Homo-oligomer: A and B are copies of this chain.
Amino acid sequence: MLSVQTRSSRAAPWRKLAAPPSARPHARSVGIVQRRYAHFDAPLELRSGATLQPFTLAYETYGQLNAARDNAILICHALSGDAHVAGYHTGDPAEKPGWWDEAVGPGKLFDTERYFVICSNVIGGCQGSTGPASIAPDGRPYGLRFPMVTIADMVAAQRHLLDRLGIERLFAVAGGSMGGMQALQWAVDWPERVENVLFLASTPRSTPQQIAFNETGRQAIYADPNWRDGNYYGGPAPTQGLAVARMLAHITYMSDVSMERKFGRRLQGWDTLPYTFARPEFAVESYLEHQGRKFIERFDANSYLYITKAIDYFDIGADYGSLEAAVARTQAAFLVVSFSSDWLYPAEQGLALVHALEAVGRAVEHCHVEAPFGHDSFLVEVERMTEVVGGYLRRRAGARMRV
């Protein structure tokens, strides 16, 4: 058991960050990167009992694997993320780097001068890994014939990728939201392969409210006549249903405070209320519709269905009788980060994990960040995440060198 450094959250459950964020003058972009593909012919046995065979994982890496092969960090993406965490693909506009570019690069939170950072698109996804839009062995797109996947299945697929890359043990596995679920699952399923878990704005157990939001988004997709029970490939996609699902989800990623600050009751393109259904009246409406339109350009509706189901199924304690029993399997040290305005994955859910880890004697730090940006805080609050998470990683790396 690793207990190099334990700062019990029970002693200081709400470690608040009052200090202003520090600048990061030396942070640089990772530059041009390439998406790679790992193809696997071996069957992936899924929790549902089904099998996926063959399967492909799209992935990217940043930085260099050191000679000891012990500086690898796996980043797990959230619902709408993908393998493209940082840098640019050839031809990308300057304002369109990877989804967590601010956190991954030389001198950044995940410092690519120290760490070898890996991220792969989850199975069931639509950005290069095998998912419902992929061609099945019979030559047609899977559609709903794609097997249901779970967080554990996503992790099982990533484990094959790590074997392929020759990485026996991860210095850390990190993720926010659904990424945090994968990070926790990693430590439970492959305890000897995970040294640290960074669990950000996440939960060990999806709640009925979270399931309800996901199900409502799915119902919006089902209701789109273009969905055709998932058999829409080659024809018009259920983009309107997917846009509604995204609008709904986007509200849950923000907070009432951040929406008030960003939009208030400002009108969008009107001096006075036009009293119309024809166009957005309020700025917040225009913003949400823009988010919906952007999303349908890059995301597959069936993948949205599969990935939200995987999130809903997640209850890692249920697989082992209790959360304590599940985390008793882990050997990693944990950093759990929650955000004051995150009402989708409230702090209490992160704390439940903290208390379970403490109950079985694992090393765990808990940091509760006062931030107004809701669930999105884990992405938006880069300076503070750099301080908290980057600081944790440096301390953990330092502790390892002294052992």
Contact = CB atoms under 8 A, between A and B. Distances in A.
Nearest to A230: B277
A305 B288 contact: no
B48 A275 contact: yes
A100 interface: no
A219 B206 contact: no
Contacts of A222: 277
A259 B219 contact: no
Contacts of A299: none
B223 A288 contact: no
How many copies of this chain sit in the oligomeric assembly? 2
A282 interface: yes
A148 B276 contact: yes
Interface string A278-292: 001111110011001
A259 B209 contact: yes
A381 interface: no
A340 interface: no
A264 interface: yes
Contacts of A215: 247, 280, 282, 284-285, 288
Given A223-B224, A256-B207, A213 B251 contact: yes
B282 A211 contact: yes
Interface stretch (A80-88, A238-246, A329-337, A353-361): A238-246
In this complex, the member of A213, A282, A292, A305 whose beta carbon has the largest number of chain B beta carbons within 10 angstroms is A282
Contact of A208 (B208, B247, B284): B284
A216 interface: yes
Contacts of A240: 223
Contact of A216 (B209, B219, B248): B248
A80 to B, nearest CB: 16
A285 B207 contact: no
Contacts of A50: 275
A218 to B, nearest CB: 8
Interface of A: 48, 50, 144, 147-148, 205-209, 211-213, 215-216, 218-220, 222-225, 230, 240-241, 243-244, 247-248, 251, 254-256, 259-260, 262-265, 273, 275-277, 280-285, 288-289, 292, 305, 309, 312-313, 315, 318, 343, 346
7 contacts: A148-B275, A208-B265, A209-B251, A209-B260, A213-B251, A215-B247, A219-B247
Given A48-B275, A211-B265, 11 more contacts: A147-B275, A208-B260, A211-B284, A215-B247, A216-B244, A216-B248, A219-B243, A219-B247, A219-B292, A223-B241, A248-B248
